[in-house]
Amino acid sequence: MMRINLDGIHTNLRFSAAHMVIGHESCGKIHGHSYIVDVEVEGERSGQFGFVIDFKVLKNITRRICKSLDHRVLVPINSPDLKVTFEDDNTIEFTVLDCLEYKLPKQDVVLLPIESTTAESLSTYITEKIVDEIEDKDTLSYIEVQVNEGIGQGASYRKYIEH
């Protein structure tokens, strides 16, 4: 087995986004981070070039995901404490904790199918998206993504690939 790594700082795997941790004393207010995404893949070397995975392919997938989150407000639509009250092509309205009402331009929002927008939940979400987009996973053991909310503070999730 061999591991390959993408260091988000040096490979420019980043996004800036606003979010809130619903119900948290200080993080419950809308605030933002400049996120850095690190990726690790373990597997067997294979193919014409003996790659675990082609760095270019992995970087392109991860960059697309980061770009989809960049400069947006991340809204966890599976949160039990958040209710979308109105949505059309231009606007989204939602209520948090049955009392805080938000109305935002839809183009500024990403509705994520997760319960919260913590680094833990974002690392799981991004890992699952990468796994879904990789076409040939036959020789891979796992993919791990760390989402950093700045330098030195992050959470990682490892998904083992079933064969």
Asked if 157 contacts 144 with a C-beta cutoff of 8 angstroms, the reply is: yes
Site of tokens 């092509």 = 89
Site of tokens 């980061």 = 66
Spell out the residues 6+ positions from residue 118 whose beta carbon is closer than 8 angstroms to its own: 21, 155
Asked if 51 contacts 86 with a C-beta cutoff of 8 angstroms, the reply is: no
Q: Which one from 31, 44, 71, 87 is the annotated catalytic residue?
A: 71
Angle at 21 between CA 18 and CA 23, to 5 degrees: 140
Q: Which one from 27, 40, 93, 133 is the annotated catalytic residue?
A: 27
Asked if 128 contacts 144 with a C-beta cutoff of 8 angstroms, the reply is: no
Q: Which one from 42, 66, 144, 149 is the annotated catalytic residue?
A: 149
27 in active site: yes
Asked if 42 contacts 141 with a C-beta cutoff of 8 angstroms, the reply is: yes
C-alpha distances in Å from residue 63, one per residue of 69, 87, 103, 156: 10, 28, 28, 17
Catalytic residue annotation = 27, 71, 149
